Chain A
Amino acid sequence: NAGVTQTPKFQVLKTGQSMTLQCAQDMNHNSMYWYRQDPGMGLRLIYYSASEGTTDKGEVPNGYNVSRLNKREFSLRLESAAPSQTSVYFCASRRTFGEEKLFFGSGTQLSVL
């Protein structure tokens, strides 16, 4: 049982480059989330998708876009990467919007030079 799978695990970008972080879950969960983790700042919500076909902004959405491709997949896109986006990115899912426990992927470490 794979759970939540994120790719890639590591990525280095130059300022201005674009890239997409991929996330897929095999637990038939309805809700999916993207967080970023910065030292001393905990996890901050970037975007979320309460159910297939819907997406909403979280706490820090600027500079990002998302796509809920289907029930399994939720991608995060950086159109023009900036050094301030250097972070560790986590995808998470939960069974329903009202279900409280989150399941996390293992993270993507992104450096923007």
Chain B
Amino acid sequence: GNSVTQMEGPVTLSEEAFLTINCTYTATGYPSLFWYVQYPGEGLQLLLKATKADDKGSNKGFEATYRKETTSFHLEKGSVQVSDSAVYFCALSDRGTNAGKSTFGDGTTLTVKP
């Protein structure tokens, strides 16, 4: 079956620090990959996505590159802000027989201190 493994948290950084949250996956087909963000008290919202190998998804200064050879989709940001404090979920969506069902990682809590 499909699975997503995320770097364990929580992660605490100072403002303007560099962020990396690791994500690796296993999938039976050729999935699309996503990062979702959940702010306190809210539902998840899509942060970025990539649909094929070597694609780079980017949004709000965050980036992640679809690495098929290492089955990874690590999230990076060059300079974090206090407002980036949230829970980040890596996910995949299998476009094969399970199309439409997404598999999520356990989430990584990021706290950014001023």
Contact = CB atoms under 8 A, between A and B. Distances in A.
B101 interface: yes
B43 A105 contact: yes
Among B42, B49, B102, find the residue whose CB has the most chain A CB atoms closer than 10 A. Answer: B102
Contacts of B45: 104
Contact of A42 (B41, B51, B89, B101): B89
Interface string B89-114: 10001010001111011110000000
Contact of B43 (A4, A31, A97): A4
A106 B89 contact: no
Nearest to B93: A100
Contacts of B106: 40-42
Interface residues of B, number: 23
B48 to A, nearest CB: 11
A46 to B, nearest CB: 12
Contact of B101 (A48, A90, A107): A48
Contacts of A69: none
B95 A98 contact: yes
A95 to B, nearest CB: 11
A104 B43 contact: yes
A58 B102 CA distance: 10
B34 interface: yes
Nearest to A41: B106
B105 A42 contact: yes
Interface in A24-47: 31, 40-45
Interface in B14-44: 32, 34, 36, 41-44
Contacts of B42: 106-107
A48 B42 CA distance: 21
Given A42-B105, A45-B101, A92-B44, 9 more contacts: A42-B4, A42-B106, A43-B89, A43-B104, A48-B100, A50-B100, A90-B43, A100-B32, A102-B102
